[in-house]
Structure 1
Amino acid sequence: MPTGEHDHQKGQPGFAEAALFGLCPRCSSRTLFGGVARFAPRCRVCSLDFSKFDVGDGPAAFLILIVGSLVVGLAAWLQVSVSPPFWVHALLWIPLSSILVILGLRAAKAALVLAEYRNSSGEAGRRE
């Protein structure tokens, strides 16, 4: 990697850390998110502009499919095993699905931002 390309190379977090805690890919501060799953405009510590990273909707669609498969499998198993009333399913699976998708979305978006930063990638055709 050429000198000066990533001047904070030593402070870069690992993928697991960045995904779990929403760490800035440059300085490792917990500044990546400004909302539940919305990026902050920039890092408050090192001023890295997060708006140049575009992870798109891929993580959301992928996570919904994974979480949906898991929840449907668990709900079917519970129905066959115990045969609870419908309200038990609603009480269990709606909050669990929501929590898993939101936490997974944060983790996936943080990991993709870190990957984009480390690989100096950007949108095709964009010049900086």
Structure 2
Amino acid sequence: MGRCPHCGQGRLFSGFLKVCPTCQVCGYDLGRIETGDGPATFIMQIAGGIVVFSALYVYIAYRPPIWLLLVVTLPLVLGLSLGLMRPGKGLMTALQYRSVEGSR
């Protein structure tokens, strides 16, 4: 939902993937939650797996020309990657918050 994992009210993102330094509602320091490259790694594996196996199935079943397969699959992998990146980063941020706060 793109909300602060501490209070659930404030915005989590200030840009497409940039996490706000602090929550505007509760003042929680969101800057100390760092997900690194985790979301990108998972999203690449998920989007790549879906597109590669779908393209392989379509190629084996229908034998389209390679150029047509590329015209369809490249925008699909780009759309899936960009579409899943923000929810993936939000999920990883929430899991990291839970890990940090659970250890206290």
CA distance in 2, matches of 1:30, 1:81: 49
Q: Which of structure 1's runs of 4+ aligned residues deviate more than 3 A?
A: none
Q: Is this contact kept in 1: 2:23–2:30, CA < 8 A?
A: yes
Taking a change above 3 Å as real, the CA distance of residues 39 and 82 of structure 1, as seen in their structure-2 partners, is: same
Q: CA RMSD in A?
A: 2.2
Q: Is this contact kept in 2: 1:36–1:102, CA < 8 A?
A: no
Structure with the higher fraction of residues in helix conformation:
2
Q: Is this contact kept in 2: 1:24–1:30, CA < 8 A?
A: yes
Taking a change above 3 Å as real, the CA distance of residues 48 and 54 of structure 1, as seen in their structure-2 partners, is: same
User: 2:27 aligned with 1:59, yes or no?
Assistant: no
CA deviations on 1:100-119 (whole Å, 9 max, x unpaired) are: 22232222221222223233
Structure 2-normalised TM-score? 0.77
* Counterpart code for 1:43: C
Taking a change above 3 Å as real, the CA distance of residues 54 and 101 of structure 1, as seen in their structure-2 partners, is: same
CA distance in 2, matches of 1:91, 1:43: 42
- Residue identity over aligned pairs, in percent, reads 32
Partner of 2:59: 79
Which stretches in structure 1 are left out of the alignment for 5+ residues?
1-20, 123-128
Partner of 1:110: 90
Which stretches in structure 2 are left out of the alignment for 5+ residues?
none
Taking a change above 3 Å as real, the CA distance of residues 88 and 36 of structure 1, as seen in their structure-2 partners, is: farther
